[in-house]
């Protein structure tokens, strides 16, 4: 019987990480920005039906980049996890923190156990109910989890976007201002104009009823993007 090849764990992890990074770098990026009334999430996405941003539970939203099939599966599992928990206990017991931890475990396990790691990076976002701040968690392909403040970015150009936002972000933005900040960052990173048709935008609006997530349809997006920063909404 031939002996299996020996590969050092360091080498194996490095190779997997490189593979995953390459896969993610191919895709477009996503930005989440806090604004006065909640959290805005913007993704460059030419498809109108294959969404990258989605509702998970009352106050929680999800965004994923990388391989569509892989983050879509994570999204669905997240909804199942959240709905089961909310049904077994209470609606306010479903938190972004526990969901992000569950994601971190799953993605981390797949990274170390499976031959092919997941080529995804995801955001789990929660809009705060009252005084406490919003929560933003970024989970990478290896399961590492980071707690972000004010803004969060994922995808191939996450670092460039982050640099842009570090200079431009101000607390207490209005919704149109936050949207323009996000599109500005995407445009700077891609060095070209972003069209409204190629943009997928969702918001977690604190003022909404039980389910805070809402997609911003194209008809509403255009005037928001074009209007001047008067904070009309």
Partner 1 sequence: MDTRPTWQDAGSSFFDLVRQQEPALLPQLTAEGVEPREGLPPVPAGTTVLALRYRDGVLIAGDRQATEGYQVASRRIEKVYAADEHSAIAIAGAAGPCIDMARLFQTELAHYEKLEGVSLSLEGKANKLAQMIRGNLPLAMQGLVVIPLFAGYDRSRDEGRIYKYDVAGGRYDETEYYAIGSGGKDARSSMKKLYRPDLTEPEAVRVALEALVDAADEDRGTGGPDFIRRIFPTLKLVTRAGIQEVPEERVAAECEAILNARRALPQG
Residues that bind partner 1 (CB under 8 A): 49, 51, 54-56, 73, 76-81, 83-84, 86-88, 102-103, 105-106, 109-110, 114, 211
Whole-angstrom CA distances from 116 to 75, 113, 156 are: 19, 9, 19
Which residue lies nearer to partner 1 by CB, 75 or 162?
Answer: 75
CA 177 to CA 186: how far, in whole Å? 14
Which residue's CB is nearer to partner 1, number 71 or number 164? Answer: 71
Closest CB to partner 1 among residues 35, 103: 103
What is the nearest approach in angstroms of partner 1 to the Cβ of residue 83? 5
Nearer to partner 1, 84 or 218 (CB): 84
* In the complex, least distance from residue 99 CB atom to partner 1, rounded to whole angstroms: 9
Shortest Å, Cβ 50 to partner 1: 10
């Amino acid at each position: 019987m031939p002996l299996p090849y020996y590969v050092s764990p360091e080498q194996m992890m490095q190779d997997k990480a490189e593979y995953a990074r390459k896969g993610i770098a191919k895709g477009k990026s996503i930005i989440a920005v806090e604004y006065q009334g909640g959290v805005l999430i913007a993704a460059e996405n030419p498809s109108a039906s294959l969404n990258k941003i989605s509702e998970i539970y009352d106050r929680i939203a999800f965004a994923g980049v990388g391989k569509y099939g892989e983050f879509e599966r994570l999204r669905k599992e997240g909804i199942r996890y959240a709905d089961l928990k909310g049904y077994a206990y209470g609606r306010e017991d479903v938190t972004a923190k526990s969901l992000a931890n569950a994601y971190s475990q799953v993605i981390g396990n797949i990274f170390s156990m499976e031959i092919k790691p997941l080529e995804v990076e995801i955001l789990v976002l929660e809009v705060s109910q009252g005084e406490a701040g919003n929560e933003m968690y970024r989970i990478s392909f290896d399961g590492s989890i980071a707690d972000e403040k004010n803004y969060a970015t994922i995808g191939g150009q996450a670092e460039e976007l982050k640099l842009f936002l570090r200079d431009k972000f101000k607390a207490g933005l209005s919704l149109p201002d936050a949207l323009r900040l996000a599109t500005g960052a995407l445009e700077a990173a891609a060095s070209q104009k972003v069209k409204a048709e190629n943009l997928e935008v969702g918001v977690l609006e604190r003022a909404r009823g039980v389910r805070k997530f809402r997609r911003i349809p194209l008809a509403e997006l255009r005037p928001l993007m074009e209007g001047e920063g008067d904070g009309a909404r």
